[in-house]
Structure formats: C-alpha cells, structure tokens
C-alpha cells in the first residue's frame, strides 16, 4: 500500500518512525510540509528522512522540494491512502477540510487525526467518501490511542447506545491530577504539559474545554446522528478550578475531572466531582470513556489520548484496516 502524509509535525514523524522501525508493509511515497514536499514514487528512504529531519522542519531536509505542495501531491493521485495531519481548527476546518475534500473527490482514501473537518463537516465528508467509494477514517480524533470509535462501530455492533461519558482531554486531566498531588497552579502545569507535547498548539483549546467539546461533537454525530456543531455543546473548562478546591475534593474521596457527556438529550463538557473508586477516575494524561448500551450494558476503555506514538498508532491502525 502506498501512502502520502500531509503535515509533518509530531504525529507525522511518529508514523514515519513506526513504519520504519516496525518494517510495516506501507510505502511512503510523499510527505508534505507547509511549503515543501518530499516525493519518490518508489518509496521515500525513511531512514535517511528520519536522520535528515531530526530536530528540524521538513524544509531543511536537502531532498525536500519547493515545487511540490499538498494540492499538487493530491492531484498526482500518487497514493492509495492520504494521511491528513494538519493542525485542528474548529472555526473553518482549514487547511485540512479542503485537502480532505480534494482527496476524496480524487477517489483516494483518507485517514486523519485532525478533529476540525470531522467536527464541522462530518456528514458532507461521509457522503463524499461514499459517493467516491473510498474510506474516510478518523479513529485518532477521539481518545487518541484509545480504540473507542472502532470499538463502538464494530465490536459493539447491534447494541443501542444510551450514552457516552468520559475524560476526553489528557492535558486537563494531567493538570487536575498534578494540582491535587502538589498544589501547583494551572499555568505552571500547563507549561509542563506543553513540554510533554500533549497540549494543543493553542492550549486554550484544552483548558477551556474546546478540545473535549470537539470530540463530544464527533461522538454525537457518529453515534446519535445528532447533526451537532460546537455551538450545541454546553462547555465549561477548568480555568476557575483552584488547587484548594481539588485538595478539598480529594480529602472527601473525590477527584475533579473534566467530563464530557454525550446522549440523545445531552451534549456537555464540564468539571465534575468523580468518586475515586469510579472507573472513570483515571489520572495523569490518561483518557477514559464509559459507554452505556442496551446489550453489553456498560464498557469502559482507558488509555492514552495524546502523544507522538500513541496517536500515530491509532492512525496506523486506520491505514492497516483499509
Ligand atoms: N490536547 C489533546 C489532549 C491532544 O490533551 O488530549 C489529543 O487530542
């Protein structure tokens, strides 16, 4: 299988490293950065690429060309699967939305970790994929490495979904956990979360609950046919939560967690008190999702919602499933 990667940030690099290290039967023919690209129809030499782009942008790689960009590479139809990894933008979904539309219209499959286009244009993109008989997959957008979307779609097939509730943002979980453990303030811990590479490019997306709300919208549209947008989510972030409040909750057997709830009549993200013995009460950068359904009753999945190899792994799983 041939793939082309659009967006060579942390996740893109993670994918390339994993394909190389695990010797996966995936040929990377193209990689696009912001204003440049690397292309080899027989397959890019990944070992050379990894070494040549260590600590620098793709534009500093001697084999990167300025005469090739994402749109050109899309129109070349050089790959079976295009992996779209540009940063999330929940205002207009760009630049990812235009790339994805163009790829699907060209009858190539799309795998993405970019929440923006899925949040804003879910129905239209699904229709376009169907019309062109190609796949549009985005497992990494909800819960990162936690296999939630595929689990509900496939393993829980036939169940009626009652509601989904969980921790969908690792950065805020990390902040709240550290606040409880050390009494440190939000700003300081947020800086550390940024160093860990788990925070969004604009970290207000994390602390204001926007990132969790985007994931809640994806769940609502996919599993409740909600036709929801960001404005339909009742959102409250964690900026007003103090270390004192977290510590008081702790003394009474509770943890403070930023919880997303999705159901037929509810679409909400807010800080909540969770009993320490509850399955959703997981710490650090972990995500946890609890789903209530009619047959299996209740399933909780826990895992890493962010991180270079964790997110890359979810993207690779989508590629391999195609
Ligand atoms: N900033 C996000 C998080 C990354 O902390 O969960 C994954 O979407």
- Structure-block tokens of residue 63: 């084999």
Contact 82, 6 (CB under 8 A): yes
Q: How many CA atoms lie within 13 A of 235 on its CB side?
A: 21
Residue to probe by mutation, ligand 1, list 200, 260, 285, 310, most atoms within 8 Å of CB: 200
pLDDT at 309: 95
The whole-angstrom separation of Cα 173 and Cα 199 is 11
Ligand 1 atom nearest to 203, measured from its CA: 1
Ligand 1 atom nearest to 193, measured from its CA: 5
For the chain of 322 residues, list the mean pLDDT of each consecutive stretch of 10.
96 97 98 94 97 93 94 97 95 97 98 97 97 98 96 96 97 95 90 88 94 98 96 97 95 97 97 97 96 97 94 97 96
Q: Is 215 a catalytic residue?
A: yes
Count other C-beta atoms under 10 Å from residue 298's C-beta: 10
Q: What fold, for 2-142+309-321?
A: Rossmann fold (3.40.50)
Q: How many Å lie between the centroid of ligand 1 and the Cα of residue 132?
A: 31
Q: Whose CA is nearest to atom 4 of ligand 1?
A: 306
Q: How many Å lie between the centroid of ligand 1 and the Cα of residue 170?
A: 5
Q: Is 149-305 a CATH 3.20.20.70 domain?
A: no
Ligand 1, CB within 6 Å, residue ranges: 144, 169-171, 198-200, 206, 211, 305-306
- Name residues whose C-beta falls within 8 Å of residue 284's C-beta, 6 or more positions apart in sequence: 170, 173, 174, 177
User: Strand pairing of 298-304 and 2-6?
Assistant: unpaired
Catalytic residue among 215, 231, 292, 308, which? 215
- What is the residue extent of each domain of the chain? 2-142+309-321, 149-305
């Amino acid at each position: 299988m041939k793939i082309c990667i659009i967006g060579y940030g942390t996740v893109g690099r993670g994918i390339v490293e994993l394909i190389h290290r695990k010797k996966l039967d995936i040929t990377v023919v193209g990689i696009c950065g912001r204003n440049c690209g690397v292309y080899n129809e027989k397959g890019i030499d990944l070992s050379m690429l990894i070494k040549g782009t260590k600590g620098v942008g793709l534009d500093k790689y001697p084999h990167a060309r300025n005469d090739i960009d994402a749109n050109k590479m899309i129109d070349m139809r050089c790959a079976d699967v295009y992996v779209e990894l540009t940063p999330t933008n929940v205002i207009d979904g760009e630049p990812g939305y235009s790339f994805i539309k163009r790829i699907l219209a060209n009858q190539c499959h799309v795998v993405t970790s970019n929440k923006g286009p899925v949040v804003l244009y879910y129905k239209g993109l699904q229709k376009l994929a169907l019309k062109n008989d190609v796949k549009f997959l985005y497992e990494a957008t909800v819960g990162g490495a936690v296999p939630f979307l595929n689990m509900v779609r496939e393993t829980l097939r036939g169940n009626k979904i009652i509601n989904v509730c969980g921790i969908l943002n690792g950065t805020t979980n990390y902040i709240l956990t550290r606040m409880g453990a050390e009494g440190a303030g939000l700003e300081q811990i947020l800086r550390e979360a940024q160093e860990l590479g788990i925070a969004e490019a604009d970290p207000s997306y994390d602390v204001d609950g926007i990132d969790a709300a985007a994931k809640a919208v994806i769940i609502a549209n996919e599993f409740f046919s909600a036709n929801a947008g960001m404005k339909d989510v009742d959102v409250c972030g964690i900026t007003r939560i103090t270390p004192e409040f977290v510590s008081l909750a702790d003394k009474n057997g509770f943890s403070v967690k930023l919880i997303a709830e999705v159901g037929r009549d509810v679409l909400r993200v807010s800080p909540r008190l969770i009993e320490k013995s509850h399955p959703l009460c997981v710490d650090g950068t972990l995500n946890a999702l609890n789903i209530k359904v009619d047959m299996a009753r209740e399933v909780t999945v826990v895992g890493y919602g962010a991180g270079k190899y964790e997110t890359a792994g979810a993207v690779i799983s989508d590629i391999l499933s195609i």
